[in-house]
Structure 1
């Protein structure tokens, strides 16, 4: 009986500790949610800026369009003060090539852009799944593959594209082959007087956690530690690219205030880190995210504005948002973008 009593006492104390711990954690979560809600209430002061991007569907280069469709698209770009359009033109094949049939209508697109959206830069949006530990499609560690990627880039520049926009995923901070390709592409685009831009994942919340992720979550199969740019990596990319677009979306946070904090935090941190070095676009979604009730275009734009409000001074280089994506943006979302983001001026933006 005495032994049973001791066991019952131990179990009782353990249950009490578990209860206290659960209550503490719930209280802490409630404080975080309440604090985020209070922070989220004031209306941001910042408005839109000198540069705005748009990721556009592959059909613009892969399918025929009427003159009326080109004209309407040009009007949309001008009305919404888009300075750069990333036209999906790939993806790369495993060997670094892009079959010409995949972008057979690119010449007509470029001609229409010059006529109906003069001054708006049309960039070839090219990328592929990066080979990591034997998994993926394109192996950038192979110099021959990188050479064919450059040949493909040159072909798009020959067609009249104003730049090359890379989106290779995943890219880790220790990816030397990717940095080599960036160096090689920069030589090509600068020689031609064109742009090099790149889409990257959201930066790390804390660089010190990357070694922990790497140790605990090995890069094997479909599971790997997050391919988040560290501060040093982001600065190195910014030194090579004319523009950096941060894919800030897919937040997966449960409330609008927390999702807004995510956008504000990444906007401020990225602009403070590289805003003096290169043009920065903060990606905002118009597709339907997994947690649609928490993350949408309205939350993203408000969060970006709150992040800009938090800066001690504006960056020296142009900055703005990039809308993902052109094919998912409704008329009411474009109207909200104009009313909440664009500057209250009729002057043309400079990119």
Structure 2
């Protein structure tokens, strides 16, 4: 009992020191400005339903006001066999014409994904070459429709997923042959690569429950060498205080930009929906944390970087105003995200 009490007291003391240290660290105002290269995940209705000219104009104005350069328009998801029925994006032509007219320079990418089959559970089996071939056929059809790129969001993707890497290779060949973009959304990387075997041992990867699909350093480098843009889904922090959540965003920003910021454009994902711990994680905390992470860089990355707002269907006018306040315009990392 005595040792149990000592262990509990030690753990509580360590937690108190961590929380206090994070609170002190969090007080300093970030120096880094926002960037001129930013992304937005957009709802399926933009390609699946008709809109008025006034609605297209208003959306284009929102993109320009908030310095959004890349929009991932949900055009899927993939069917189990890797296809996307054209009826799902029947209004893409009207949308893309409006974007080019009212928001020239903004890249409209087809946002495509599905639950990736793992150990027999899921929807789309990327291990099947025939499925991957049909995915590529769907990609080609969407590029033919006028999209500026393909944005993948398959989940879960583990760092030993050679089939996904093969799909990335084939898709890169397709998009580059058309002069278009390939982008991908990934989960936030591991804090320590050595934790992956621990997760795998504690939560075996079978059935509907999986251990966290966190990219390792090596896997993220391999993805960055294949993609024009990598969006890190940094949200859903599940930490109990604003300071700890902010530290999470800062740490992942610095680590990711130092690792792949010279190889590809990076977008750090920020939430505008109600997160798992709403009193600690919100848009303002995420943006402030990312700016603190940029502050900690020894030098800016060679490629452009910014934030990815998730998502347009959860962001109201008040949140966009908060975004502009917490991600103020600056000249850092401006440029074309190619």
Same fold (TM over 0.5): yes
Give, in whole Å, the separation in 1 of the partners of 2:194 and 2:62. Answer: 43
Which of 198, 210, 221 in structure 2 is aligned with 1:235?
221
Of the two, which has the highest radius of gyration?
Answer: 1
Measured after TM superposition, the shift of residue 17 of structure 1 is: 2.2
Q: Tell me the secondary structure at the aligned position of residue 150 of structure 2.
A: strand
Aligned twin of 1:31 = 17
Aligned twin of 1:7 = none
Aligned twin of 1:6 = none
Which of 225, 238, 242 in structure 1 is aligned with 2:211?
225
Please give the residue correspondences for 1:78-227 in structure 2 after superposition, counting only pairs within 5 Å: 78-227=64-213
Gapped runs of 5+ residues in structure 1? Answer: 1-14
CA contact (8 A) 1:86 1:125 kept: yes
CA contact (8 A) 2:39 2:68 kept: yes
Which of 317, 320, 326 in structure 2 is aligned with 1:334?
320
CA contact (8 A) 1:260 1:302 kept: yes
Give, in whole Å, the separation in 1 of the partners of 2:126 and 2:208. Answer: 19
TM-score normalized by the length of structure 2: 0.97
Measured after TM superposition, the shift of residue 222 of structure 1 is: 2.0
Give, in whole Å, the separation in 2 of the partners of 1:59 and 1:152. Answer: 19
Cα distance 1:348–1:27, how it changes in 2: closer, same or farther (>3 A)? closer
Aligned length: 336
Give, in whole Å, the separation in 1 of the partners of 2:33 and 2:128. Answer: 44
Measured after TM superposition, the shift of residue 16 of structure 1 is: 2.3
Measured after TM superposition, the shift of residue 348 of structure 1 is: 7.9
Further displaced range: 213-222 or 122-131: 213-222
CA contact (8 A) 1:164 1:197 kept: yes
Q: Tell me the secondary structure at the aligned position of residue 231 of structure 2.
A: strand
Give, in whole Å, the separation in 2 of the partners of 1:75 and 1:44. Answer: 28
TM-score normalized by the length of structure 1: 0.94
Gapped runs of 5+ residues in structure 2? Answer: none
CA contact (8 A) 2:35 2:330 kept: no
User: RMSD between aligned alpha carbons?
Assistant: 1.2
CA contact (8 A) 1:81 1:349 kept: no
